[in-house]
Amino acid sequence: MEVAAKAIEAPASPAWRTNLATIAALMARAKNELVRVPGAAIPGVLAPTIFFLGLNGVFGALTQLQGFETGSYESFIIPVSMLQGAGFTGAAAGVNLARDYEGGWVDRLLVSPAPRWVLLAGNVLAASARSLIPATFVLAIAFVIGAEWPGLDGLAVCYLMVAATAAVAACWGSMLALRYKSQSAAPLMQAGTMALILLTPAYAPLALLQPWLEKVANVNPLTQVLEAARQGFVGSVTWADTWPGIVAMAGLLAVLGSLALREMRRTNV
């Protein structure tokens, strides 16, 4: 009785600290899932690796075309595979949220006093952290088969873009998970992120794309993200090639984050 009274009298932690602790707890839960079910990470790692090796083996001769910025197709394509891994990981965060909804876990979170944005941030930041695993794995494979070292600055920008892409994909996946409340929406989550990443100069430089894809790539914000992630692998890192990627990511995060948050606020227990 005395203990309970003391607990009630104890000064409450500041809200920001409680929110950070909640986000950290949600991220730890995602990490535990990874440790307890290591097989769950395999598809996210395997798919971009297969795509990387496959695309390199199949389309490697494209570097012979005039207008290609590099003679090494593995260097050209590796950022695409890293972003693809981030996209898959982010979409998987949406699928996991739908699974948690079906299992009743999300209901329990929603009745907790944690703000909605904190619940969303936990899921999104966990996806960002998880995306570093497939990115690092596929990058190691790329170095083994001859991809060029992008420099520390190039690597840092690339990883920043990977983590941000996973966050964007997780917002997209969470939005769909909360709207459809079913894992059946998984193909839509994956197809959306895959389309966003591949409708860019993924396979060849902008100038070599077919006119329709060039037009789409020019308005696709992921093009700026890919160019920023790729710059170190095919040349040198410049601020001029970096800031459009950062702006594009910030814009995508703002839009998709707001939409996901709106779905979360609309979700009734």
Partner 1 sequence: MSDLAASARVVRALGGRSIRQTFRRPQLLAPIVVFPTLLLAVQTGGAGASVELPGFPPVQSFLQFMLAGAMMQSMMLAGNSGGIAFAVDIEMGFTDRLFAAPIPRFAIVLGRLAGTAALGLFASVWFLAIGLIFGAEIEGGVPGALLAMALVTASALAVGGIGAAIALRTGSASVVQGLFPLVLVVLFLSSAFFPQELMIEPAKTIAEYNPLSFIVEGVREPIISGIDATVTMEAVAAIAGIVVLGLVLSARALQHRLRVG
* Alpha carbons 21 and 4: distance in angstroms, whole number: 22
The CB-of-162 to partner 1 minimum distance in angstroms stands at: 20
155-194: contacts with partner 1 (CB under 8 A):
184, 186-188, 191, 194
Number of residues assigned to the chain: 269
Q: Is 54 a residue that touches partner 1 (CB under 8 A)?
A: yes
Q: Which is nearer to partner 1, 152 or 207 (CB)?
A: 207
Residue type present at position 214: E
Q: Which is nearer to partner 1, 182 or 236 (CB)?
A: 182
For residue 132, CA distances in Å to 127, 159, 186 come to 9, 7, 21
Q: Is 37 a residue that touches partner 1 (CB under 8 A)?
A: no
Q: Is 43 a residue that touches partner 1 (CB under 8 A)?
A: yes
Q: Is 65 a residue that touches partner 1 (CB under 8 A)?
A: yes
**For the purposes of burial, counting CB atoms within 10 Å of the CB of 234, is it exposed (0-12), middle (13-18) or buried (19 or more)?**
buried
Q: Which is nearer to partner 1, 13 or 184 (CB)?
A: 184
The CB-of-50 to partner 1 minimum distance in angstroms stands at: 5
The CB-of-79 to partner 1 minimum distance in angstroms stands at: 14
What would the two tokens of residue 260 be?
């996901």
Task: Say how many residues touch partner 1, by CB under 8 A.
Answer: 36
- In DSSP notation, 58-88 reads HHGGGGGSTT-S-S-HHHHHHHHHHHHHHHH
Q: Is 210 a residue that touches partner 1 (CB under 8 A)?
A: yes
The CB-of-86 to partner 1 minimum distance in angstroms stands at: 18
Sign of CA pseudo-dihedral 50, 52, 53, 55: positive
